[in-house]
Chains A and B, each alone.
Chain A
């Protein structure tokens, strides 16, 4: 084996790859060969580093230098300056937004300081396409240990005492779920990995599958041993081609090593895993709908009970866990239940991965201990609101969650606290909004999504959400009436109480929580016909300021519907009845005379 004295890690997640990180890898290799360093410096494509805002990310080891927004054209400079001459490249380093200083070491970046990586432990560290690197990081040790030293009962007991709860949304205790599946007697059982990540803005499962696929395979085999199953499936959406490719590579490597297949590590235990592709329907993240989709049926949920642990895939007992949950399994079995339960809050143990998005400086993927406050996440790790604007709200839990506001900033994040405040953990999407976001439109946006994604099986979700959406549309168009506000609340609550599955039961949450927290915005839309954030176009009017207008006629000539009148060198006026609010006049005016109010 040749001896490398340096490693260049390049992010190979979907985000960075779409910014040409794969071309960068090729160029780096070429430049290294040019300098005769091909044998001394190794270029490795890893999984996601999480700091997607500034991707593509390059990390040079062992001096732990963190470069951001690296383009393929920077390859030459990195090799010539950093690798050959040992000089760090200033303009590629991360600049601390507060001190404006360059930070070389990622450990000192605000983004990483407060993070604790369990599920993401190998993302951005190992080459996901090499099983050996996973093994070097204690990979498959948990499976080996369980198979040779522990009974299924002991393993389940350990998982129960660790306090791990499902990371897909509802937070059901994982050990208990396994126990139910184990206790149901059957000739055949199945292990299913739910990789149907559907929340807008959430991409933690994709990143884990792309950056550390073996952690999921190992956990599935462990579950197989615990519940007595010899077959597993990963239900993954076809929109994740890179994750699928890496999973296939990982499956082949694990089979070659005999870590999947017959008689794993001489224990007599057989287990193998197949892939099932979903067409990307949100409702298929619900476990009963997911199972129907796997069976080739329509992706529609059915009433629980029976739970999948009794009658799941092909009517057999089935254990379904989500990707992030599975990524936590091996570390718990290796480090112990006490270690895991020492992290987090009383009822929510361990860490949670969040996908930060919206009006925030550091968009990306983070993992923090449960109980971290929203303030820490948004202002310390997330680097605060873009362009120094004011924080307004954060949406957690995707279309099923709700909005939290300023007064919730110091609430420790865990399953219970989020629900208590009208939101939920969901899969961990966090969309941050600033003063320029209109909360009524946000609620409408999420309902757009649920109306689109509702499978249509039950009436409350199919019809109710449609009506809810129409009410919001009316309010945004300025046609709302006072009674609509009560209608929104009543209808929302009925949908919550009567829908068949989790999708419908949680779909009114964005409306109800914005009604709770931003009632004044609703009333100003309904009573004053005003949208303070300036988002709802129908409530805005174009207006020409007398003191700025010079009568140049530029706006009148730009107006496609002839709504602007006025003589040359005299004040122009917009006729609100003909105006279609296209904004052409505002763009054309050189004197800032046209305003929207």
Chain B
């Protein structure tokens, strides 16, 4: 361990270490952030959901989008894997199908950053227990 010799040394460590707890701080304030859920069931992983997820995590951070990327189970659209669900703060969730890294790139640029819808949206035609109440 290097000694901390000044306030700026301390600040440097704080910036470096911020990553280690970022996930938790974001989780506490998830409702105010962009939430991306990647379907990571067998079907999703087989179609490349892992690459999509890693790509999303990296690019969102690089492009300065404050987002929470989590994994979820099979959403049932196995024909369109990998699928992701994007929830912008205060908006309804939108599900996109066939999201390879290229598509993911388009979703970040156009939908998440620009607010414009892109092709590949899967209409949500079900209710969950949460939406029912």
- Using a CB–CB distance below 8 Å, which chain A residues touch chain B? 1, 3-7, 9, 61-64, 84-87, 101, 107, 125-126, 132-133, 135-141, 144-145, 147-148, 253, 256-259, 265-266
Contacts and interface: CB of A to CB of B under 8 A. Distances in A.
A165 to B, nearest CB: 29
A258 B5 contact: yes
Contact of A64 (B14, B20, B30, B37): B30
A140 B10 contact: yes
A145 B14 CA distance: 14
Given A87-B73, A144-B10, A148-B7, A9 B23 contact: no
Contacts of B17: 132-133, 135-136
A95 to B, nearest CB: 14
B94 interface: no
Contact of B28 (A1, A64, A258): A64
Given A133-B20, A135-B10, A85 B70 contact: no
- Which 5 residue pairs spanning A and B have beta carbons closest together? A62-B27, A86-B72, A258-B3, A136-B17, A86-B73
Nearest to A3: B57
A265 B11 CA distance: 12
B20 A62 contact: no
Contacts of A126: 21
Interface in B82-110: none
A9 to B, nearest CB: 7
Given A86-B71, A132-B17, A135-B14, A265 B23 contact: no
A133 B23 contact: no
A371 B11 CA distance: 36
B67 to A, nearest CB: 10
Contacts of B37: 86
Contacts of B39: 86
B115 to A, nearest CB: 23
B13 to A, nearest CB: 5
Nearest to A147: B7
14 contacts: A6-B70, A61-B24, A61-B27, A62-B68, A85-B73, A86-B70, A86-B71, A125-B24, A126-B21, A133-B21, A135-B14, A144-B10, A148-B6, A256-B3
B23 A7 contact: yes
B60 interface: no
Contacts of B21: 125-126, 133, 136-137
Contacts of B72: 86
B19 interface: yes
A4 B69 CA distance: 11
A147 B8 CA distance: 12
A167 B74 CA distance: 50
Given A86-B71, A136-B20, A148-B7, 10 more contacts: A5-B71, A62-B68, A101-B133, A135-B17, A136-B14, A136-B21, A137-B21, A141-B7, A253-B1, A257-B1
Contacts of B6: 148, 265-266
Nearest to B2: A257
B41 A86 contact: yes
A266 B5 contact: yes
Nearest to B24: A61
A145 B26 CA distance: 26
B28 to A, nearest CB: 7
B109 to A, nearest CB: 22
B16 to A, nearest CB: 8
A86 B76 CA distance: 13
Contacts of B19: 1
B106 to A, nearest CB: 22
Contacts of B23: 4-7, 61-62
Among A133, A136, A140, A257, residue most surrounded by chain B Cβ atoms (within 10 Å):
A136
A140 B13 CA distance: 11
A141 B23 CA distance: 21
Among B13, B20, B69, residue most surrounded by chain A Cβ atoms (within 10 Å):
B20
Contacts of B18: 136
A62 B41 contact: no
A62 B9 contact: no
A135 B13 contact: yes
B130 to A, nearest CB: 9
A11 to B, nearest CB: 14
Nearest to A102: B129
A87 B73 CA distance: 6
B107 to A, nearest CB: 18
Contact of B70 (A62, A84, A253): A62
Nearest to A148: B7
Contacts of B74: 85
Nearest to A133: B21
A64 B68 CA distance: 11
A132 B13 contact: yes
Contacts of B68: 62-63
A63 B7 contact: no
A138 B5 CA distance: 17
A259 B26 contact: no
B132 to A, nearest CB: 11
A125 B20 CA distance: 12
A256 B27 contact: no
B10 A265 contact: yes
A86 B13 CA distance: 33
B98 to A, nearest CB: 19
Contacts of B13: 132, 135
Contacts of A135: 10, 13-14, 17
Contact of A257 (B3, B7, B11, B133): B3
A77 to B, nearest CB: 14
Nearest to B67: A62
Given A5-B69, A135-B14, A144 B7 contact: yes
B14 A138 contact: yes
Nearest to B17: A136
A6 to B, nearest CB: 7
Contacts of A1: 19-20
B121 interface: no
A61 to B, nearest CB: 4
Given A85-B41, A86-B73, A135-B13, A64 B7 contact: no
